[in-house]
Amino acid sequence: MNRAKQRNSFGDTLPEELIKVFETADRDDHVRVVILTAEPTAPAYSIGTDISTAMADFSRPEGDTDYRDPGGQVASAIYNCRKATIAAVNGHAIGVGMTALQLPFDFRFVWEKAKLSFPFIRLGISPESTSTFLLPRLLGHSRANSLLLTGATFSPTSPLVSGLYHEIIPKREDVLPVALAFAKDIATNTSQISVAHTKGLLQHPGETNEQNHLLDSRTIKLLGTGEDAAEGALAIKERRGPRFNSPLSKNWHPWWRPVDESRPKAKL
C-alpha cells in the first residue's frame, strides 16, 4: 500500500485495486503467494477507513439490505484467493487495518510495537469487513468479545490478540523481509493445488465429523492420483526438494456453491 501521506487510509481507489490484485493472483498459475504490506516510510500499516469516503458511501440512495461494505468486498477477495496470502503488518493498524487488511489472510506477521484497535463501538458504528465472522473463528468468541466490544487499543503481545500472528517481530524494518523469506519457502516447497484445496477444506467444512471425512476422502483421492502427488513421493525417495508444476487452473475441484454478493439490480 502506497498511501503514506494518508497513513494508508482505506479509501480512494485502494479497495478496487486490492480486489483486482487478489482476483488476478487467484487466476494466475504463476503466482504462489501474495504479500500485503505498507510502504516503509508510511507512519502506519493502515489507520482505517477514510471518513470522507465512508460518509459519501453511506449517503448513497439505497436500502440497508442493498448496501455492500467495501471492506467486506476486499475481505472476500482476499479470503477467496486460492493462493497463500500473507499480511506483513509493519505499522499501526486501526479499524479496517485490522479487519479487511489482516483477518482474511492465511498468515499474519506483525511489528511488536504496533498499536492495534477495533474501534467501531467507540465511533457509533458496527464492525465491518466480515470481522464478526472471521475473528471468532480465528481467536474464539471470548477473545473476539474482548476486542470488538471494548474498542480498546492492544499490543501484538497481548494474550487477547497474539494468537492472530504467525510471528511477532521486534524490528519494524524486519517485518517484510521475514515475511518474504516465509513466502519463498511456501512458493518453493508446496503444491499450489494442495494449498488451494486445503484452504477450501478449512473454509468450507462439513457440519459434522462424518461430513468432513467424506470431503477429506474425496479431495485426497483427487489429488493423490495427480502429478504433484507423484512428484512429492519421488522427491522424498530421491532426497531432494520437490518441483511442483501442476497448474491450479486445470486441477480445481470445489464442492460448494459460491454466494452472490453483488448489489441487487435496480427495479425499473
As a whole number of angstroms, the distance between CA 139 and CA 28 comes to 31
**pTM (2 decimals)?**
0.93
Closest CA to 45 of 58, 54, 36: 36
Residue ranges of the chain with per-residue pLDDT less than 70: 51-62, 264-268
**Are residues 18 and 76 in contact, defined by beta-carbon separation less than 8 angstroms?**
no
| Strand segments (E) across the chain | 33-37, 44-46, 84-89, 92-94, 107-111, 116-117, 153-154, 167-169
Q: Which residues contact 145 (CB under 8 A, 6 or more apart)?
A: none
- Tell me, what's the pLDDT at 163? 97
Q: What is the pLDDT of residues 181-229, one digit of tens each?
A: 999 999 999 999 999 999 999 999 999 999 999 999 999 999 999 999 9
What pLDDT, on a 0 to 100 scale, did the predictor assign at position 57? 66
Q: Could you give the angle at which helices 141-148 and 131-139 cross, rounded to 10 degrees? A: 130
How confident is the model at residue 52, as a pLDDT?
Answer: 65
In this prediction, residue 55 carries a pLDDT of: 62
- Give the Cα separation of 170 and 113 in Å (integer): 7
Write down the pLDDT at residue 171: 97
